[in-house]
Structure 1
Amino acid sequence: MTTLRVIADDAVARTSAQQSSRPRINGLTRYASELTRALIDTAPPECDVELIVSRRPRAELDEFGRQFPGAAGTTPVSMPHGALASAWANGVRVAAGTGILHAPSLFAPLVRGDQHVARQLVVTVHDTIAWTHPNSLEPGVAAWTRRMARRAAKHADAIVVPSHAVAAELAEHIDVGERIRVIPGATSASIVLPADPEVRASWLKLPERFVLASGSMDPRSGIDALIEAAALPEFQDVPVLIIGEDAWRGRRITEAAMLAGLPEGRVRPLGAVSDSDLALLLKRAEAFVAPSYAEGFGLMALEALAFGTPLVHSDAPALVELASGAGYPVVRYNAGSSYAQRLATAVGSVLAGNADAEALATLGRDRAKAFSWRDSGARVWQLHAEL
């Protein structure tokens, strides 16, 4: 029996003291959990998947077993998450299982030197924000990411990235040779409409017409430009609903909307939403806007494509690659006009019916079919077989 050991810390959202009843599922958590399930489902004959996690209470270990049925088991290592992240970043040899090891992030034992270290190790780099937009990350995260990426360049047998755009960008920052493999993510089967869509729509106070986006006042997200765009005539006074928290390091979406001259409620942050509410929002939005200046993949944009929601996106390379002509691209940098004006023109074209929304919806659904977690899982298994 061949065992693929997956470092699964990121696959279950850690619950903060302030959010004990409802941990937020971020992009990394969704990626890690979906990929882990796909690896279990696509395991070749005589192969299985064991979950490796940092030290944690028994109740949390049991949670892994419930969320990932079919796994061969869950094995904790000797240190808690934070201490383990620091130890591995400093090259301390803390074993996480031998044999074949797969990490859905850079949280991995990127060391070499004794029999207690995996003989085959693959890690994942999701974007290059730690180099291009380090201030977008929490303090210390950018430095940790860059350090771990350098260790990956020395010790990893292969590095998985979600797009060719990230592959090209990462090669500008670290020497990875021929070890990069592009294996994208996909949409989640859990994002389905609620049983009571009208009740949920009423509870969410959804307007009859609205544009949907996701992000914060982090400058990288481009939400500031979208708010400016919403104040322009082309937007036809259609409200903008934004998945994400209002505040980012003292900057608030609601305050930015007020300063742009927009009436209260024209731009509304929704906070974190459930999978079923996300499905409802995507289904009813007249357009989904992905205005970010930098992305690694664009999972929310892909989810919009899957629901047939017309996609307006920036010309960030990863988003252009993802949409592949199924969206409405907007140039980020152009001396001839502001980014906000170009966003307003693009969104306004969709709202006014000048852009063929039906054609965009069909193209989007077809494009989304090119991505599947089963395919991604099978490609990870194939990668390890080739190594």
Structure 2
Amino acid sequence: MTTLRAIAEDAVARPSAGIRLSGLARYAGELTRALIAAAPPGCDVELLFAARRGNELADATAQFPGATRSTTAPLARRALATAWATGSRVGAPHGLIHAPSLLAPLARQGRNSAAKSAQVVVTVHDTIAWTHPASIGRAEADWTKRMARRAARFADAIVVPTHAVAADLADRIPLGERVRVIPGGISAALTLPDEPDVRSSWLGLPERFVLASGSMDPRTGIDALIRAAALPDFQSTPLLIVGDDAWRGRRITEAAMFAGLPEGRVRPLGTVSDSDLALLLSRAAAYVAPSLAEGFGLGALEALTFGTPLVHSDAPAHLEVAGGAGISVARADPGTTYAERLAAAVGSVLDGTADTAALTVLGRDRAKAFSWAASGAQVWQLHAEL
């Protein structure tokens, strides 16, 4: 029996009931389940977590039915991350190791040596630690850079979600031929509620609205989108925003007020459940992904899956994932502001200038190129090739 040991620590964030997990936790959880489902004959998956108390290990393991067993490292997550960042292999398993992030035991063990005890594959989701370190905080950015440099030295392969990330990462650290592009997908939990009309009424959804997700982190482009909502092209259509209303003291509601928008035109929804997000996507007149930098652009893919007309920035990852199935907006153009360009693109959807029927068909067709089943199979194939 060949065992793939998946580091599942990042997959078990502890949100409130019904609230969506963070992007990393969603990725790690979905990929881990996909690895279990895609295990070839004669292969199984073992889960590795940081130290846990009492029934916490059983609760974490229960999220991944089909895993053969679970083990824990002797350190809690923060201590484990610190130890592994210094080259310690405390708590490190042997054999095939797959990490859905950079949280992995990366240390010298003779990568080409017969005495090597482990094959380690890690994941780099984006290059925000280099391009927008303030978005994640200096400490996490520094840790990410340190672990990426360790991965360049000691990992057997590095998974990235897009060719855009692969190219940008290669300009920053020497990776050679060890990078493999394996995109993600959308969660099977992203389904409509049982009574969508009742839920829509309960949420107080407008008859027509534009949807986006993000915070006032400058990287997300939400500030420009709020300014766009104040322009005539937006036709006074309400803008609903999923995500944090307060990013380091900057609030979406205050940005809307400063843009001169009346109360209620921009509505922050906070975190929402998967079923509520599905409902929002299914009823939005357009979904806008204005971020200035992305690793994958899950929100854009989710919009494509529901056939929601997509307006997105020309960030390379967005262009790659959308594949021409959305309306691209240049982040930089000396002739107009980003807000003006976003407003014009959204306005073309709202006034019917854009062929929304074609965008719906193209979007759903493009979304079929991404699935967690395919991702899991590609990860197994990568380990087999190594």
TM-score (norm 1): 0.97
Secondary structure of the structure 1 residue equivalent to 2:6: strand
1:365 paired with 2:364, answer yes
* Aligned: 1:79 with 2:75: yes
Report deviation, 1:197: 0.9
Q: Secondary structure at the match of 2:70?
A: strand
Q: Aligned match of 1:40 in 36, 40, 59? A: 36
Kindly provide the amino acid, as one letter, of the partner of residue 23 in structure 2. Answer: G
CA contact (8 A) 1:97 1:117 kept: no
Moved more, 111-120 or 152-161: 111-120
Q: How does 1:212-361 map to 2 (within 5 A)?
A: 212-361=211-360
Q: Which aligned pairs between 1:115-154 and structure 2 lie closer than 5 A?
A: 118-154=117-153
Measure, in 2, the Cα distance between the counterparts of 1:215 and 1:166: 20
Alignment-mate amino acid for residue 78 of structure 2: G
Secondary structure in structure 2 of the residue aligned to 1:141: helix
SS in 2 for 1:212: strand
Q: Which amino acid aligns with 2:274?
A: D
SS in 2 for 1:160: strand
Q: Secondary structure at the match of 2:46?
A: strand
Partner of 1:100: 96
Q: C-alpha separation between the residues in 2 aligned to 1:50 and 1:112?
A: 23
The one-letter amino acid paired with 1:86 is: T
Q: CA offset at residue 23 of structure 1?
A: 6.0
Change (3 A) 1:268 1:23: closer
AA of the residue aligned to 2:207: E
1:163 aligns with 2:159: no
In the TM superposition, residue 96 of structure 1 has moved relative to its aligned partner by 2.1
Query: Equivalent residue for 2:187?
Result: 188
Q: Helix, strand or coil for the counterpart of 2:62?
A: helix
User: Which runs of no fewer than 5 residues in structure 1 stay unpaired?
Assistant: none
Deviations, residues 28-71 of structure 1 (Å, cap 9, x unaligned): 11111111111001100100000001001232211222211110
> How far apart are residue 99 of structure 1 and its match?
0.4
TM-score by length of 2: 0.97
Instruction: Give the deviation of 1:139 after TM superposition.
Output: 4.0
Query: Deviation of residue 138 (structure 1)?
Result: 2.9
Preserved CA contact (<8 Å) 2:215 2:244: yes
Q: Using the alignment, how far apart are the partners of 1:295 and 1:314 within structure 2?
A: 10
Aligned counterparts of 2:172 and 2:261: Cα–Cα separation in 1:
41
Q: What is the one-letter code of the residue matched to 1:76?
A: T
Distance 1:225 1:33 in 2: 32
The CA distance in 2 between the partners of 1:286 and 1:118, in whole Å, is 54
Instruction: Supply the distance in 2 between the matched residues of 1:88 and 1:116 (Cα, whole angstroms).
Output: 20
Spell out, residue by residue over 1:205-235, the C-alpha distance to the aligned partner (whole angstroms, 9 max, x if none). Answer: 1011100000000000000000000000000
Q: State how far apart, in whole Å, the 2-side matches of 1:227 and 1:81 are.
A: 37
Distance 1:87 1:24 in 2: 29
The 3-state SS of whatever aligns with 2:223 is helix
Q: Which residue number in structure 1 is paired with residue 8 of structure 2?
A: 8
Report the alpha carbon displacement of residue 24 of structure 1 after superposing the two structures with TM.
Answer: 4.8
SS in 2 for 1:58: coil
* Partner residue of 2:61 out of 62, 65, 69: 65
Report the alpha carbon displacement of residue 13 of structure 1 after superposing the two structures with TM: 1.3
Matched letter for residue 216 of structure 2: M
Task: Indicate conservation of the 8 Å contact 2:109/2:117, yes or no.
Answer: no
Residues 19, 273 of structure 2: 8 Å contact kept: no
What CA deviation, in whole Å up to 9, does each residue of 1:116-164 have, x standing for no partner? Answer: 9852000000000000000111341000000000000000000000000
Displacement of 1:189 after TM fit?
A: 0.8
Contact 2:284/2:308, CA 8 A, preserved across alignment: yes
Structure 2 vs 1, CA of residues 117 and 249 (structure 1 numbering), >3 Å: closer, same or farther? farther
Q: SS state of the match for residue 154, structure 1?
A: helix
The residue identity in structure 2 corresponding to 1:152 is A
| Contact 2:184/2:375 (<8 A) preserved | yes
Deviations along 1:59-116, one digit per CA (max 9) or x if unpaired, are 2211222211110111001100000011111112213210000000000001124999
Contact kept, 8 Å, 1:95 with 1:116, in 2: the verdict is no
Secondary structure of 1:335 counterpart? coil
8 Å Cα contact 1:111-1:117 kept in structure 2? no
Contact 1:98–1:116 under 8 Å retained in 2? no
What is the Cα deviation at residue 22 of structure 1?
6.0
Structure 1 residues 340 and 158, CA gap change in structure 2 (3 angstroms): same
Pick closer, same or farther for the CA change 1:117–1:262 going to 2, 3 Å.
farther
Describe the superposition over 1:294-319 as per-residue Cα deviations: whole angstroms up to 9, x where unpaired.
00000111010000000000000000
Distance 2:272 2:28 in 1: 19
Match of 2:105 among 96, 102, 109: 109
On the 8 A contact 1:123/1:156 being kept in 2, the answer is yes
What one-letter code is carried by the residue in structure 2 that aligns with 1:62? A
1:14 partner amino acid: R
Residue 312 of structure 1 contacts residue 347 of structure 1 at CA under 8 Å; is this kept in 2?
Answer: yes
Q: 1:29 maps to what in 2?
A: 25
Query: How far apart, CA to CA, are the structure 2 residues paired with 1:364 and 1:22?
Result: 27
1:332-369 residue CA offsets vs partner (Å, 9 max, x unmatched): 00001000000000000000010011100000000000
Count matched residues: 383
